[in-house]
Structure 1
Amino acid sequence: MTEQTAARVPLEQLVPEDAHVLGDPAAPVTIVEFGDLECPYCAAAAPVLRDVVASSAGRVRLVFRHFPLFEIHPYALTAALAVEAADAHGRFWEMHEALFAHQDRLDDAGLAERARELGIDGAAVVGDAAQQFAAVVQRDYADALALGVQGTPTLFVDGVRYRGRVTREGLEAAVAALPAR
């Protein structure tokens, strides 16, 4: 099955109301990433995804959802909670970028340090303070499982599962292949 003939998942199923959106929230094309903040492949994909959004002239937006692979990445879950806690301070995308830049320090001390660098109390993103954001991470994880997500990064371009390496050229081709709306 090619990307053009693949089953399309309705955006309402992929994008919750409280979604983390990079780019124009009203952009006509939505890329949804199910990612893990400790995953090296997600870290490599992050600048590519940002570039696709930035160079799209408002046509593409990115939605990030959590799929922490906690069985192989011991800090993935606490990193997901920390970035959600940073969102409560309006700093989701800054923390997202900082954690990818410092994947070697995703323990509580590293998470707190990243938060302080962003002007957030370090204690607000770790331990009990971060646990209040568990429901968001659990929802994203459950939604990913229901969609058959098994690894990260897993992308959907306007509801169509993206296959292959995450490259600017590949994503731009997937966007260009979408039917006009």
Structure 2
Amino acid sequence: MSLKPAVGSQDHVQGDDSASIEIVEYGDYQCPHCGNAYPIVKEIQETFGDQIRFVFRNFPLSESHEYAFSAALAAEAAALQDKFWEMHDALYENQSRMDDDLFEELAIQIGLDIEQFRKDFESANLEQRIEFDFESGIRSGVNGTPSFYVNGEKFDGGVTDLYQLLKESTE
């Protein structure tokens, strides 16, 4: 399966447009597998540096994870203050204590304007944004989290397999 739509200006991207390897993750901030993948993705980024362009799309599995959608809202609200990646990292790093109180605490920690954060957190636009990511995941064949796409094609395997593949392909 291929990625639909392709990565564009609406996406959260780390890395250079000219990177040779584009990795898109569909993730859920409360999913334990995504939590386990998070440090490995960081390691991939550190190891391969400029060769990697990393994209994160929301795929909250709300039926299984009570706080997944709220966590995605928190990340999107932070994005409106140019702090998406700070919130993304903070959510994964505090995954074990995820509850309704955590989002504001992290917003304060990463230096967001808290009144603006509260307002944005309630915004219907952000809900639509998350639903757009989720629907693009379904169209792209995502059937669980985390799901990875490498250069537009679905990667069938976990993040450890992905790391191994990248190491082999760049040796």
User: What do the CA deviations read for 1:91-125 (whole angstroms, capped 9, x no partner)?
Assistant: 11111010011113333311000000011134444
Whether 1:38 and 2:24 are equivalent positions in the alignment is no
Residue equivalent to 2:133: 140
Question: 5+ residue gaps in structure 1?
Answer: 1-6
Question: Within 5 Å, which residues of 2 pair with 1:15-164?
Answer: 15-126=7-118, 129-130=120-121, 131=123, 132-164=125-157
- 2:25 maps to amino acid: E
Deviation at 1:176, TM superposition (A): 5.3
Q: Could you tell me the TM-score, scaled by structure 2's length?
A: 0.87
Moved over 3 A (4+): 121-126, 174-178
CA distance in 2: counterparts of 1:82 and 1:106, whole angstroms: 12
Seq. identity, %: 36
Query: Counterpart of 1:42 in 2: which secondary structure?
Result: helix
Give RMSD over aligned pairs: 2.1
CA distance in 2: counterparts of 1:108 and 1:170, whole angstroms: 33
CA distance in 2: counterparts of 1:121 and 1:76, whole angstroms: 22
CA distance in 1: counterparts of 2:67 and 2:116, whole angstroms: 17
- 2:157 maps to amino acid: G
Deviation at 1:20, TM superposition (A): 0.7
Q: Could you tell me the TM-score, scaled by structure 1's length?
A: 0.83
Deviation at 1:70, TM superposition (A): 0.2
Query: Counterpart of 1:14 in 2: which secondary structure?
Result: coil
Question: 5+ residue gaps in structure 2?
Answer: none
- 2:159 maps to amino acid: V
The structure whose residues are more often helix, as a share, is: 2
User: What do the CA deviations read for 1:32-74 (whole angstroms, capped 9, x no partner)?
Assistant: 0000011111111111112212221311111000100000001
Deviation at 1:156, TM superposition (A): 0.6
CA distance in 2: counterparts of 1:29 and 1:175, whole angstroms: 12
Residue equivalent to 1:3: none
CA contact (8 A) 1:35 1:64 kept: yes
Structure-2 change in CA distance of 1:14 and 1:43 (3 Å):
farther
- 1:143 maps to amino acid: S
CA distance in 2: counterparts of 1:160 and 1:95, whole angstroms: 27
- 2:60 maps to amino acid: P
Deviation at 1:177, TM superposition (A): 4.9
Of stretches 89-98 and 21-30 in structure 1, the one that deviates more from structure 2 is 21-30
